[in-house]
Amino acid sequence: MDFAVFSKTEIEEMFQTMMEHMPENMRNIAINEFGSIEQWKEHYMEVVSSEKMQKGYAKVVEWYGGKDKYLSAVQNPISKEVAESYNKRFEAILQKLIAKRDCAVDSFEVKEIVGEYGFVMKQFLQIKEEKGYMLANAQFYRNEKIKPKLNEKYGEGASDFFAQAIEAFYGKE
């Protein structure tokens, strides 16, 4: 295994932290899927050690402003109540954004809402810089498996509108 960003020990600690903070029903689903905690951990270690995942972690570490800051956020997750509050805020922002779908993605009205979205996301994730994360989020909105769900919830073309609005605000990488 090649742990380019995180050592094997750090990955094991991340797994343990994830286990400790995961709701019991989700933990049971994972255990049922993999057969045991040890088999799940083995799978996790294999996936996280892949070159693709390590490259992804390198970007995430950059967003957080360093490996220690990322590990601190992982080891000290926000409470369920705070997460629910942020989710309500994200939903309100996306509702405001979709209400502006008739505006140009580079209009002040749209950029103001995307700026709010990025600011709140930065607070929620405790990251140093949100640009990379938000651009990754734009790509998420273009994912062919995600688009139908977003378009069903926010209206036809919503996923592309969200992605374009984020890219208009942050620029493309």
Residues 116 and 158 in one domain: yes
119, 135, 126, 131: which is closest to 66 by C-alpha?
Answer: 126
58, 77, 80: which is closest to 14 by C-alpha?
Answer: 77
* Mean pLDDT over each residue of the chain, to the nearest integer: 89
Domain closes at, from 34, 51, 75:
75
Residues 95 and 162 in one domain: yes
pLDDT for the residue numbered 1: 46
Query: 34 near 44, Cβ under 8 Å?
Result: no
Helix (H) or strand (E) holding 103: none
Residues 138 and 101 in one domain: yes
pLDDT for the residue numbered 154: 96
Give residues with Cβ within 8 angstroms of 77, minimum separation 6.
17, 21
Distance CA 26, CA 83 (A): 16
Residues 15 and 64 in one domain: yes
Residues 88 and 65 in one domain: no
Q: What is the pTM of this model?
A: 0.76
pLDDT for the residue numbered 163: 96
Residues 70 and 85 in one domain: no
Distance CA 3, CA 167 (A): 32
Distance CA 33, CA 112 (A): 43
Structure tokens at 4: 């380019």
- Write the pLDDT tens digit of every residue in 121-149: 999 988 888 999 999 999 999 999 889 99
Domain with 123 in it: 80-170
Q: Residue 58 domain-assigned?
A: yes
